[in-house]
Amino acid sequence: MKNVIEIQQLVKSFGKTRVLEGIDLNFEASRISVVLGPNGSGKTTMIKSVLGMVIPNSGSIKVLGTDIQGQWDYRKNISYLPQIANFPPNLTALELVNMLADLRGGNQHTRELIERFGLGPFMRIRLSNLSGGTRQKVNILLAFMSDAPVIILDEPTNGLDPVALIRLKSLIAQKKSEGRSFLITTHIMQLVEELADEIVFLLEGKIYFKGTVSELKGTFNENNIEKAIARILLTNNVA
Amino acid sequence: MYKILKYAFYDLIRSKWSYVYFAFYLLISGSLLFLTGDISKVIISLMNIVLVLVPLIASIFGVMYYYNSREFTELLLAQPIRRSNIFLGQYFGLSVSLSSSLFLGIGIPFLFFGIFRSAEIWNFFILILTGVLLTFIFSALAFLVALQNENKLKGFGFMLFIWLFLAIIYDGLFLLSLIVFKDYPLESLSISMSMFNPIDLSRVLILLKLDISALMGYTGAVFRKFFGNDNGLILSSLVLLMWVIIPVAFIARVSKRKDF
């Protein structure tokens, strides 16, 4: 199967702390990969390295076959949903959508998404006056409106109500069936169970497990993911 | 860069602080003009306000804007745009919106007082020009300081110190050095010292233009003797421009290597 992201020997330290200790990882096309790990395990640093926000000390990253070092144009192939939805307070959601569309170019599918998440009445209101949940829906709209083949979601369920959560899950499933690839980080195990084709477990900058949900359960002889992960943490004396 | 600039400007010009800043200048220059009725005197009073206040406001706004938009900057960094374009766009958006508040706040009352029919038009123009240049200079310094300090408190503290140093402490040191070295020829020292402080330099620029010898400090007198009026004006404007260009070049450079 074709790899959309290939990471080789990725090393990153901030000052004296080594956050990523030589990671080798491939993400395949048209799959949902979930990256798990406790706080400080290097999840965000890895994702930010792929996006070019963090500059690695060594190692290489390829997105759709091209090395990303010093590049910026490759980011048109990636959509990103940041963890914190904090936008320019005095712009409206509509202006923000137009801005991103303006920056990215290409086709944008906004109308369908606005309807799906019931954002219609909020599009002309200043972003500072929207609730946290609505802002997260705007965040989702921004991440899904483009045609990018790779979608990276950092804690996508933050602040979502159950209805929006169900809509988000069906949206992810639909985009996957259209051939898009996902890289998701989350703390919600139920979401992992429902969506993940593949789990990557990071701990202290190393990969401790990579495989499917059932492989994870099988390896640690547990019938739910939470317990299996607790086992990884306990056996490595980090919890 | 232009796209980022446009939206940063839209965002900032609608913020309530832009209105407050605009209203402040409107009120001050309006009431000064109304009370004295003497355009030339009002320009000098406004100069003293602008030279201290513009750098302070640009410093505070610059640092605050950078830190407040950090999460949004991360979203922009994930888009297919060059890094330096993001920061330069935000920087110019900020400087242009602050400059518009200043320009309109001072400009509207002067317009009603018939500045275009007055002989003071060029002095007024120099006042606005130095105000705008100081806005660009101190926003750039503030952006640079914020870019290099992850810690908000440190960034704020450091930028306020830069402002305090250039607006107040520098003059004291300047004077002290003139007293200590009074037995030596001081022309070149005082000229080069004022080059290194954009606030002093702006003061010289306005005073040279206003041509008021009573108000000219030592530097102004030396400047005038040394360059004659026109050369002094051109030189000090060029050095002020360098004060914009160099920090902006550093913003582009620092942003390229930074981890977010």
Residue identified by tokens 């992810």 is A172
Structure confidence by residue, pLDDT tens digits, B94-106: 999 999 999 999 9
Q: Where are the domains of chain B?
A: 2-257
State the first-to-last Cα distance of chain A, in angstroms, to the nearest integer: 36
- Whole-angstrom distance between the N-terminal and C-terminal Cα of chain B? 19
Retrieve residue A105's tokens.
């170019």
Q: Do A80 and B75 touch (CB under 8 A)?
A: yes
State ipTM.
0.87
| Nearest-angstrom CA–CA distance, B131 and B149 | 27
Question: For residue B171, what pLDDT band results from cuts at 50, 70 and 90?
Answer: confident
Residues 231-260 of B with CB under 8 A from A: 257, 259-260
Among B8, B69, B79, the residue with its CB nearest the CB of A75 is B79
Q: For position A238, what pLDDT does the model report?
A: 62
Q: With contact defined as beta carbons under 8 Å apart, do B230 and B205 qualify?
A: no
Would you call A90 and B12 a contact, using CB atoms and an 8 Å cutoff?
A: yes
pTM: predicted TM-score of the whole model, two decimal places: 0.89
Residue whose token pair is 């979203």: B75
Residue B58 has pLDDT above 80, yes or no: yes
Burial class (CB in 10 A: 0-12, 13-18, 19+), B172: exposed
What gap in Å lies between CA A156 and CA A143, rounded to an integer? Answer: 10
Instruction: Give residue A2's pLDDT.
Output: 83
Residue B134 backbone zone (phi > 0: left; psi -120 to 50: alpha; other: beta): alpha
CB–CB of B146/B67 below 8 Å?
yes
d(CA B70, CA B90): 11
Does the distance separating the beta carbons of B10 and A74 come in below 8 Å? no
Cα A112 → chain centroid: 22
Q: What are phi and psi of A45, to 5 degrees?
A: -60, -40
Q: What is the pLDDT of residues B185-236, one digit of tens each?
A: 777 777 788 788 999 888 877 877 776 655 556 655 666 666 666 777 788 8
B13 vs chain A: nearest CA distance in angstroms?
Answer: 9
Q: How would you class B218 by CB atoms within 10 Å of its CB: exposed for 0-12, middle for 13-18, buried for 19 or more?
A: middle
CA atoms within 13 A on the CB side of A142: 32
How would DSSP label each residue in chain B? Answer: -HHHHHHHHHHHHTSHHHHHHHHHHHHHHHHHHHHH--HHHHHHHHHHHHHHHHHHHHHHHHHHHHHHTHHHHHHHHTSSS-HHHHHHHHHHHHHHHHHHHHHHHHHHHHHHTTGGGSTTHHHHHHHHHHHHHHHHHHHHHHHHHHHH-SSHHHHHHHHHHHHHIIIIIHHHHHHHHHHHTTTS--HHHHHHHHHT-HHHHHHHHHHHHHT-GGG--HHHHHHHHHHHHHHHHHHHHHHHHHHHHHHHHHHHHHHHH---
Higher pLDDT, B78 or A221: B78
Query: How high is the pLDDT of residue A72?
Result: 87
Please state, in angstroms and as integers, the Cα–Cα distance from residue A224 to each residue in A36, A165, A237, following that order.
15, 21, 20
**What pLDDT is attached to residue B220?**
59
pLDDT score for B133: 95
In terms of DSSP bridges, do strands A32-36 and A198-203 run parallel, antiparallel, or are they unpaired? parallel
DSSP A129-150: GS-HHHHHHHHHHHHHSS--SE
Q: In what order do the strands lie in the sheet with A58-63?
A: A17-28, A3-14, A58-63, A66-67
Q: What CATH number has the domain spanning A3-235?
A: 3.40.50.300
Q: Number of C-alpha atoms within 13 angstroms, CB side, residue B30?
A: 11
Q: Do A88 and B8 count as a contact with CB atoms less than 8 A apart?
A: yes
Number of cross-chain residue pairs from A and B with Cβ atoms under 8 Å apart: 73
Output the CA–CA distances (angstroms, integers) from residue A3 to A61, A81, A160, A181, in the order listed.
Answer: 12, 21, 31, 10
Contact list in B for residue A104 (CB cut-off 8 A) is: 79-80
Which residues of chain B have a CB within 8 Å of the CB of A52?
77
Q: Are B106 and B46 in contact (CB under 8 A)?
A: yes
Contact between A59 and A6 under an 8 Å Cβ cutoff? The reply is: no
Closest by CA position to B200, among listed B236, B241, B228, B227 = B236
Q: What percent of chain B clears pLDDT 90, i.e. is strictly above it?
A: 50
Q: Of A191, A142, A239, A165, nearest to A32 (Cα)? A: A191
Confidence band of B134 (pLDDT split at 50, 70, 90): very high
> pLDDT 10s per residue in chain A (239 long)?
688 899 999 999 988 888 888 889 999 888 999 999 888 888 889 999 999 999 999 999 999 988 888 888 899 999 999 988 889 999 999 999 999 988 888 777 888 899 999 998 999 999 999 998 999 999 999 999 988 999 999 999 888 889 999 999 999 999 999 999 999 998 888 888 888 899 998 888 888 888 888 888 888 888 888 888 888 888 876 65
In sequence order, the 6+-apart residues with CB closer than 8 A to the CB of A115 are none
Cβ of A99 within 8 Å of Cβ of B82? The answer is no
Contact A31, A178 (CB under 8 A): no
Structure confidence at residue B101 (pLDDT)? 95
- List, in sequence order, every residue forming a beta bridge with A54; answer none if it has no partner: none
The HSE-up count of residue A105 (CA atoms within 13 Å, CB side) is: 6
